């Protein structure tokens, strides 16, 4: 497995395409055990308003309806660690290997894949990391749409969104130890006059 594999190159091309369309830059390519590209695709959540058309699902969709034997032993190349849904699809279709461009931005179901006997390879590819970094900087609300708390102030600067998400989603909740109101702050509590 290397970053020059045709399947990985195709996945990166798909990520670039998604980014150029204004979507989440995650690409994927499904390659049969004999090296034939079965399908490739990119995340279309933004472009098609889809909750489920992630890169890996798009690659499976674009492979068409094939017999189960076509997927068995295949390799799924993806530019970002797969989410639970895409991890499940790889397990369901008996993909033998998942090759990941990067898992610094998001760590998905890698451990589950391994537990199910699927080989996992991570490249830490600089282009994949760069595409995600640029996308999140430019469109943080799009990236965090699935994890944004409903209490997110619309006026919050984009650079603070990741910290806000972390604070809101931590369990137990992160709190301020210096206050008497259980760590809950509003603008008027912070001393903004």
Q: What is the pLDDT of residues 127-172, one digit of tens each?
A: 999 999 999 888 877 876 655 556 666 676 767 766 766 666 655 5
Choosing among 3.40.140.10, 3.40.50.10480, 3.40.50.300, 1.10.10.10, the CATH entry for 6-147 is 3.40.140.10
Residues in the chain where the model's pLDDT stays below 70: 144-154, 156, 158, 161-162, 164-193
| DSSP code per residue over 124-147 | --HHHHHHHHHHHHH-HHHHGGGT
Phi, psi of 186 (to 5 degrees): -120, 165
**Residue 171's pLDDT is what?**
54
Q: What pLDDT is attached to residue 1?
A: 84
- The reported pLDDT for the residue numbered 152 is 65
pLDDT for res 187: 42
Please state, in angstroms and as integers, the Cα–Cα distance from residue 91 to each residue in 41, 47, 102, 174, 186, following that order: 18, 27, 20, 35, 45
pTM of the model: 0.78
Q: Which residues are catalytic?
A: 56
Which DSSP state fits 181? Answer: S
- pLDDT score for 11: 99
Distances (CA, A) of 49 to 46, 78, 163, 175: 5, 21, 26, 36
Half-sphere exposure of 3 (CA within 13 A, CB side): 11
pLDDT at 154: 66
Rounded CA separation 97/117 (Å): 9
pLDDT value of residue 137: 86
Cα–Cα distance between 143 and 148 in angstroms, integer? 9
């Amino acid at each position: 497995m290397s970053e020059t594999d045709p399947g990985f190159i195709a996945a990166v091309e798909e990520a670039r395409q998604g980014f150029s369309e204004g979507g989440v830059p995650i690409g994927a390519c499904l390659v049969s055990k004999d090296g034939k590209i079965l399908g490739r695709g990119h995340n279309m959540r933004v472009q098609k308003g889809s909750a489920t058309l992630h890169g890996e699902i798009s690659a499976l969709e674009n492979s068409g309806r094939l017999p189960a034997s076509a997927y068995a032993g295949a390799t799924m190349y993806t530019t970002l660690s797969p989410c639970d849904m895409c991890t499940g699809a790889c397990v369901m279709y008996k993909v033998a290997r998942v090759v990941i461009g990067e898992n610094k931005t998001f760590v998905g179901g890698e451990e589950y894949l391994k537990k199910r006997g699927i080989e996992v390879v991570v490249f830490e590819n600089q282009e994949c990391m760069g595409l995600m970094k640029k996308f999140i900087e430019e469109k943080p609300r799009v990236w965090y749409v699935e994890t944004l708390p409903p209490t997110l102030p619309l006026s919050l600067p984009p650079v603070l969104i990741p910290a806000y998400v972390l604070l809101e989603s931590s369990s137990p909740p992160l709190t301020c130890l210096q206050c008497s109101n259980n760590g809950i702050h509003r603008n008027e509590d912070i001393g903004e006059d």
